[in-house]
Structure 1
Amino acid sequence: MKKSSFAVMIMFISSIGWAASPCENLIKSCLLAQSVTPSVTIRNIDVEEVSQEDDYADGFNASFIFKYDGADVGYAEGKSDQALIYSGKLYRLSKSIPVGNNKGIKYSAFNPTLAQWSFAKDGRQQYLCVSFNFDGLGQSGSFQGVHGGYLLNSKTKNLYFVMRDIR
């Protein structure tokens, strides 16, 4: 095998690790907003100053936007879709990749004011993590342990949707 072919193959194999969906421990840590294993770190985002902005981008209104490390982060709504905002760019919820058994739910809108915003890191992978309990439905009854979440890979910009019973 030529050196250049070998280098390309190594780069391809390395990129697979970057493109892989988040592992289950990272998902659970995100949904709980606390680490469930020493390999995962969670950095909760204290959302204090929130604003709104009409016509934010591409026909979306930013209904919940805040600054984190100088960049826009938040939630936006369009006519037929919702999106996460990260570093000033929109990531449509309808384009999110479902991970694991989400009970047939592909993606879900959520109330950003009730959500837990954080960064989850496992090794070289870091994600913007948004965890929610379906607008308070999780506060009593059999649905109380079910949480949904979005994880946006900060390197690949792949957006993942998860739903799990966290009890």
Structure 2
Amino acid sequence: MKSGFAALIMVASSIGWAASPSEDLVKSCLLARSVASSITLRNINADEVLQEDDYADGFNASYIVKYRGSDIGYAEGKSDQALIYSGKLYRLSKSTPIGNNNEIKPAAFNPTLAQWSLAKEGKYQYLCVGFNFDGLGQSGSFQNVHGGYLLNLKNKDLYFAVRDVGQ
């Protein structure tokens, strides 16, 4: 009986840390700047960008930066794209949409036009990649629509979000 109760507690506690990112964290990531005092954000310097064919699992890395000794970047395969973090691939097609994304599905983006950062809120840290859909809507209201991916660095869950950051 005690072991069943302990298992229930473990499941309940794992659900608690698996919660999706807060709305403030999402907006901070999409804007590459903190929108709340509870969030710290560090932009990733992309002064030197590398490329590598056959990086891993049939993916070519078209954008890699070295950050504190680890690879961070973007890779493309035959039918999917992936984020790279610490040498591992996280497929965009397997990301979990969060919030109201206006029916926009996870998709490829131009990594050279994206904002790359690390965000921290409480005990959670995320790799954040924000983009404005390759510069679409340079004038008008669509320029405020940004998309992005957030990779939880603890449990490696990948999230996808689209928001009107002008609101």
2:62 counterpart letter in structure 1: S
Does the CA-based 8 Å contact 1:18-1:155 persist in structure 2?
A: no
Q: How does 1:127-146 map to 2 (within 5 A)?
A: 127-146=126-145
Task: Identify the residue that residue 29 of structure 1 maps to in structure 2.
Answer: 28
For structure 2, the residue ranges without an aligned partner over 5 or more in a row are none
The alignment of Structure 1 onto Structure 2 pairs a total of residues equal to 166
Superposed CA deviations along residues 105-158 of structure 1, whole A, max 9, x for unmatched, are 120211000100001111111110000000011422221100000000001111
Give me the whole-angstrom Cα distance separating, in 2, the residues matched to 1:104 and 1:52. 32
Q: Give the drift of 1:17.
A: 2.2
| In 2, Cα distance between equivalents of 1:69 and 1:138 | 35
Q: For structure 1, which runs of at least 5 residues remain unmatched after alignment?
A: none
Map Cα deviations across residues 57-78 of structure 1 (whole Å, 9 max, x no partner): 1111000011111111100011
CA-to-partner distance for each residue in 1:25-73, whole Å, 9 max, x for gaps? 1101111111111111111111111110000011110000111111111
**2:142 aligned counterpart, secondary structure:** coil
Q: Output the CA distance in 1 between the equivalents of 2:128 and 2:99.
A: 16
Which residue does the alignment assign to 2:147?
148
Mapped to 1, the partners of 2:13 and 2:24 lie a distance apart of 21
Q: Secondary structure at the match of 2:11?
A: helix
**Structure 1: which 4+ aligned runs deviate by more than 3 Å?**
4-10
Cα contact 1:138–1:147 (8 A) shared by 2: no
Distance across 2 between alignment mates of 1:27 and 1:64: 23
- Cα distance in 1 for partners of 2:26, 2:165 equals 10
RMSD: 1.3
State the SS of the aligned residue for 1:72. Answer: strand
Instruction: Name the SS of the counterpart of 2:125 in structure 1.
Output: strand
The normalised TM-score by structure 2 is 0.94
**Counterpart contact for 1:85–1:91, Cα < 8 Å:** yes
CA distance in 1, matches of 2:34, 2:124: 15
* Inter-partner Cα distance in structure 1 for 2:13 and 2:43: 29
